[in-house]
Structure 1
Amino acid sequence: MFTDDNFVFGDQNVQVPAHLNFGKFILDRLRLQKDEVALELGDTREKLTYKEFTQYAVNMSTALTKLGVGRGDIVAVGSEKRNEFVPTVLAIVFTGATYTPYDLKSGRAVLKHKIGLTKPKYFICSKLFWNTYSDILKSFDCIEKFVTLDEGTESVISIRTLITNDADVSKFEPVQVQGQSDIAFILYSSGTTGMPKGVQLTHLNCILNSLPDDFTDESLKTAFLFGEWYHNYDTFMTYKFLCLGRKIVYVNEAEPISFIKSVHDCDVNIAFIVPSFVCYLSKAKEAEKYNLHSLKIIYSRSSPLHNKTIQKVKSRRFIVGFPKVKNILQGYGMTEAGELTSESWGTKGPKSGSVGMASPGITLKVVDLETRKTVGPNQRGEICLRGPVLMKGYIGVPPSNYLDEDGFFKTGDLGYFDEDRYFYIVERLKEIIVYDGYKVAPLELETILQLHPGVREAGVVGKPVKVYGEEPTAFVVKQPGVNVTEKELLDYVAEEVPPFMQLRGGVRFIEEMPRNPRGKIIRQRLREMLK
């Protein structure tokens, strides 16, 4: 067995605890903290200290064990974001059971699909989740017991009635597991091209996803998290910062203005947000009203962020009041394998437009789309990965469907790396528009459109046409109070791009851009609008 000179390796000397128990890994770190704030709901300023967090998780885990929850069981959680959410997840993991989340905003069809995939035995939910979906939940015979975080009903046991007194945190130990094979989490793929797939993550996967080595800078005391605790990125960024004893600020409705207010109110130092929020910072006048001096690092995720957007924000940082921002960074990852690359690992510092270098434990390669041969620096192709952070597998999907002959996972992302082994993401392969044989990345056109002062958001898809294949077509949300025409935008883009990239399919104005809970544009919805 020989390696390839064009394989890109992250640091292979990764240290993990010998027990390989994700619950114990986190609990050992939680015990080191006491009265420091662990979680703060930015909307209400409601706080949960580390001591309260740990006591809640241990109490709940003890109660769940008495209820019958144990190793081999699957326990679902359905709830809005709240301070009890994360310790509830850890309480499940402490029992040796497998945790899986259901999103309050996913809709009925997706909820039915996910329950059918994982078939949970126990279901923990909030009152809001129960009131919204109780008819669906009661229709699944696999669910034997329902537990609520709030007041109980005839059908649902309140966790409060199961917790009779505080357990001894100092003597509590999570149930032993086989960390390389036992499944700690079942999360879900984004589902942008179809129904979500169930992603099985072992205890070892979760530990590797939670190693906090790239955020040890002690000045980063408070982090803001944009997303839901239903998917990989925000979930494991939360555990990284809990491992370090830092404060995590979140909001229930993630809007740009709520992010700005949270930075102002909670002295946020590092913000994990999405490209649409970064674009907002490049234009928003309302941001000038707030004191954002605490903010040092903006970390973008979920979809590629164009270099032009980064530069536009940097050019405005003194105007909008966050002059202490040192870097606007990008991370690249996925539910199946955590954070593949990060600018935190860049040996030469951040490179604008790059997503950084390979993360520890990861091996990456880029393969030609036609020949599937590994290619070298500055050659575009599909990014593939392997390593111990890679999921155990999808539920019900044979590995041959997503692994190549060398055991590399096929990401479906088009990208490349440079001479310094920094990676750049171009686009999802399925999103590339092909016009007259030319390949057009929607991100390029979306970035150009969003730099126009009259455009708030933009999404680009291909409009099927005879002979030429697809014509780039834009959907635009206007800036409030600004009157911009289709011709103005067509001419604006035409001055910036070669002929094959022009918006030959036209511009359509819409009230709201369809996005999934991770902030990604749902381009399938835009294609449906074209029909």
Structure 2
Amino acid sequence: MLRNPNYVYGPRNVVVPANINFGDYILEQMWTHRQKIAMINGATDERVTYSDIIQQSMNFAVSLNRIGVRKGDTIGLLSENRQEFWGAVIGVACSGAVLTTISTGYVKGEIIHVTNISKPKYIICSPLMYKNHSKTLKSLNFVKDIILFGAEKQNGVTMYNDLVFESNGFVKNVEYEQFHSVEVQGQTDTLFIMYSSGTTGLPKGVMTTHLNVITACCLPASHDPNSITVTITPWYHVMGLVGTLTAFITGRTGVYLPKFEVDLYLKTIEKYRAVQLTVVPPVLVAVTKKETHYDLSSVRMIYSGAAPLHKDTIKAVHEKFPNLQGIYQGYGSTELTLAVLRFSVRDPNVHKLGSVGTVSPNTVIKVVDIETRNPLGSNQTGEICAKGGLLMKGYVGKSKGTDLDDEGFYKTGDIGYYDDDGYFFVVDRLKELIKYKGYQVPPAELEAVLLQHEGIKDAAVIGIEDKSAGEVPLAFVVAQPGVTEDDVKKFVAERLSNPKHLRGGVRFVAQIPKSPSGKILRKDLRKLLKTAKSKL
């Protein structure tokens, strides 16, 4: 009955409509901005208005109903960032179906794995993804049809344009005043199935409800809605998917790129005089390492998420962007429908260096001792646990089991602490801590130091077994020509304490494997170490 003094409670000042279809909710919000530009393709300057997205969404929902889609059916979406994406997402929501977004980085086995979790009846696909994966998609016996983006017709598929444009004859333009989404139970009906990043194992299907996403959209804006934002986050990932939907609520104009290329990215910032950037940490690392001549003076705010951003990287970013006022970090996961820790653009304490912000409204966070599971007070490091309106419905075909504790808190597996003002700091992943002679060595700390080396472009650290010490750190490094293993070891030894020295050695690689959200795939590095030592 009483609040726990060691829990950190978010404010309760956000009112959320609980039982409506998310499709109706977002169409209503977007309707007030219908004359504005919603999205600009930074590579082609192709533009789409909010009115365009609304019309596509309503027409697509009606067409899905006509071809037999019913409430609760699952529809897959396999596409890079492109204009049709959002009409498809919102149209599926309006139809009462469940949308599952599939990573464009997946190979055949991964596509088979995740689709066998969600079993979509239809898959919406971009031309590029269809070219790469048509045989795999057609081999799935639960898929009735493939709906293809683009103007070039293909045999054996249904064209998305035929389902959304009146000129193609299948559907007449739906009037907004006459449209109503399929009724759902917002608190319990699934809206999205997204897949956990799989950094420590095979991806799991995370079920997110209509209410979860509406709750995320009702949070105070983290960006200025009146300023141009450039984003390259893939839209199939929770950061891109839910993050963009929250932007639509405010009527913000976003410039996007289908993929990340450093020069094109910086050229786009200069061309559109972007004020805000939404990134994952590897993008900032790449930008700070790049010698450029672009005018980046328009950038005032950078919002970074999906992985921790080290203080040294933050300092380097400030040097790259001369008029940068602040870097906002957030913290969340697929299981937490975006961000449960965040900054607001109006927060006067945005410059708390390295912090991921304070607790979101309608959320409770606790930090617990790794061994005893007892809640800790301020400035004590432990595992971050969260619950509230953003917590997922659950995993497809799997109980929440050990992922939740006996109080219903989601155990994030991330190590962090909060200060006396309630600002949180993430230290590392619990499962990735290297245990050297009883010391807990955070790989992220070593990686941050390695990136300070002028000759190192990127780096990742794992622990390898050692009979006497338990585990020792080993570094994978993407380096400039001339950098040696001894150089790297000495650089770390001069800057970090004895347990953090690279006793496991250094391996030089062409690139560091990462998830689409920018998290280092340490399991892939371990596989590489076992199977290809001679090539490293």
CA distance in 1: counterparts of 2:403 and 2:485, whole angstroms: 41
Counterpart of 1:253? Answer: 259
Provide the C-alpha distance between the structure 2 equivalents of 1:203 and 1:341, rounded to a whole number of angstroms.
21
What does residue 533 of structure 2 align with? none
Partner of 2:330, secondary structure, is: strand
For residue 168 of structure 1, what is the amino acid of its counterpart?
E
The offset of 1:308, in angstroms, is 1.9
Contact residue 237 and residue 516 of structure 2 kept, 8 A: no
The 5-angstrom pairing of residues 26-175 of structure 1 reads: 26-150=26-150, 151-163=152-164, 164=169, 165-175=172-182
CA deviations 1:464-504 (Å, max 9, x no partner) are: 1111011111111124xx53222122111111111111111
Deviations along 1:260-294, one digit per CA (max 9) or x if unpaired, are: 122112222111112122223433212xx111122
Per mean C-alpha deviation after superposition, the further-off stretch among 179-188 and 53-62 is: 53-62
- Greater shift, 498-507 or 341-350, is seen at 341-350
Ranges in structure 1 where 5+ consecutive residues have no aligned partner: none
* Residue number among 221, 246, 257 corresponding to 1:214 in the alignment: 221
How far apart are residue 82 of structure 1 and its match?
0.7
For 1:466 and 1:172, the matched residues in 2 are separated by: 67
Equivalence for 1:379: 380
2-side partners of 1:403 and 1:105: how far apart?
29
2:483 counterpart letter in structure 1: V
Does the residue aligned with 2:221 lie in a helix, a strand or coil? helix
Distance, in Å, in 2 between the alignment partners of 1:505 and 1:406 is 40
Contact kept? 1:463, 1:530, Cα under 8 Å: no
1:212/1:241 contact within 8 Å kept: no
State whether structure 2 residue 313 is matched by structure 1 residue 312.
no
Distance in 2 of aligned mates of 1:301 and 1:162: 35
The residue that corresponds to 1:299 in the other structure is 303
Quote the offset at 1:18 in angstroms.
Answer: 5.1
Answer yes or no: is 1:494 the counterpart of 2:493: yes
Look up the match of 1:181.
188
d(CA) in 2 for partners of 1:101 and 1:349?
32
Match of 2:200 in 1: 193
Query: Which residue in the other structure is 2:510 paired with?
Result: 511
TM-fit CA distance, 1:255: 2.9
CA contact (8 A) 1:216 1:244 kept: no
AA matched with 1:376 = G
Find the partner of 1:276 among 279, 282, 289: 282
Q: Which amino acid aligns with 1:423?
A: F
Q: Output the amino acid matched with 2:275.
A: N
The amino acid that maps onto 1:434 is K
Query: What's the offset of the Cα at 1:253?
Result: 1.6
Bigger shift: 84-93 or 43-52? 43-52
Instruction: Please state if 1:202 is matched with 2:209.
Output: yes
Checking the alignment, whether the CA contact within 8 Å between 2:14 and 2:219 is kept in structure 1 is no
2:101 corresponds to which letter in structure 1? P
Unaligned 5+ segments in structure 2 are 531-536
Moved more, 49-58 or 416-425: 49-58
Matched, 1:267 2:266: no
Which residue is equivalent to 1:327? 326
> What is the Cα deviation at residue 449 of structure 1?
0.8
For residues 160-183 of structure 1, give each alpha carbon's deviation from its aligned partner in whole angstroms, at most 9, with x where no partner exists. 334423222332222221100111
* Cα shift at 1:195: 1.0
Distance 1:218 1:249, change over 3 A: closer
Aligned-pair distance for 1:405?
0.8
More divergent stretch after superposition (454-463 vs 398-407)? 398-407
Q: Distance in 1 between matches of 2:308 and 2:8?
A: 20
Task: State yes or no: 1:223 paired with 2:223.
Answer: no
Q: For residues 227-261 of structure 1, what are the alpha-carbon distances to aligned partners after superposition, in whole Å with 9 as ceiling and x for unaligned?
A: 21111111121112111111111111213333212
CA distance in 2, matches of 1:348, 1:9: 18
Q: CA deviation at 1:511?
A: 1.0
Query: How far does the alpha carbon of each residue in 1:342-389 deviate from its partner, in whole angstroms, 9 at most, with x for none?
Result: 122857433101111111111000111111111111111111111121
Moved more, 146-155 or 289-298: 146-155
- The structure-2 alpha-carbon separation of the partners of 1:226 and 1:212, relative to structure 1 and needing over 3 Å to count, comes to farther
Give the alignment's Cα RMSD to 1 decimal.
1.7
- More displaced 10-residue stretch of structure 1: 364-373 or 79-88: 79-88
Per mean C-alpha deviation after superposition, the further-off stretch among 144-153 and 431-440 is 144-153
Deviation at 1:22, TM superposition (A): 1.0
Partner in structure 2 of residue 430 of structure 1: 431
* Distance in 2 (alpha carbons) for counterparts of 1:486 and 1:137: 45
* Counterpart in the other structure of 1:393: 394
Q: Is the 8 A contact 2:21 2:93 kept in 1?
A: no
CA distance in structure 1 between the aligned counterparts of 2:236 and 2:163, rounded to whole angstroms: 25
Instruction: After TM superposition, give the deviation of residue 131 of structure 1 in Å.
Output: 2.4
Identity of aligned residues (%): 40
2:534 corresponds to which residue? none
SS, match of residue 336 in structure 1: helix
Shift of 1:152: 4.2
Question: Distance between the aligned counterparts of 1:456 and 1:331, measured in 2?
Answer: 25
What is the aligned partner in structure 1 of residue 353 from structure 2?
A: 352
The answer as to whether partners of 2:281 and 2:309 remain within 8 angstroms in 1 is yes
The Cα offsets for residues 43-85 of structure 1, whole Å up to 9 and x where unpaired, read as 1111111122211222212211111112111111112221101
Q: Distance in 1 between matches of 2:41 and 2:221?
A: 25
Letter in 1 for 2:280: V
- Choose 254-263 or 108-117, whichever is displaced more: 254-263
Aligned twin of 1:464: 465
CA distance in 2, matches of 1:240, 1:443: 30
2:204 maps to a residue whose letter is K
Write out per-residue CA displacement over residues 99-148 of structure 1, whole angstroms, 9 at most, x where no aligned residue: 11122221111100111101112222223222222222222222223222
**1:187 touches 1:200 (CA, 8 Å); kept in 2?**
yes
SS of the aligned residue for 1:81 comes to coil
Q: Name whichever of 497-506 and 338-347 sits farther off.
A: 338-347
For residues 299 and 75 of structure 2, what CA distance do their matches in structure 1 show? 37
Contact 2:78 2:101 in 1 (8 A): yes
Q: Tell me the alpha carbon deviations over residues 323-354 of structure 1, each in whole angstroms, 9 at most, x when there is no partner.
A: 22100121111001120101228574331011
Post-superposition shift, 1:411? 0.7
3-state secondary structure, aligned to 2:197: coil
2:482 maps to which residue? 483
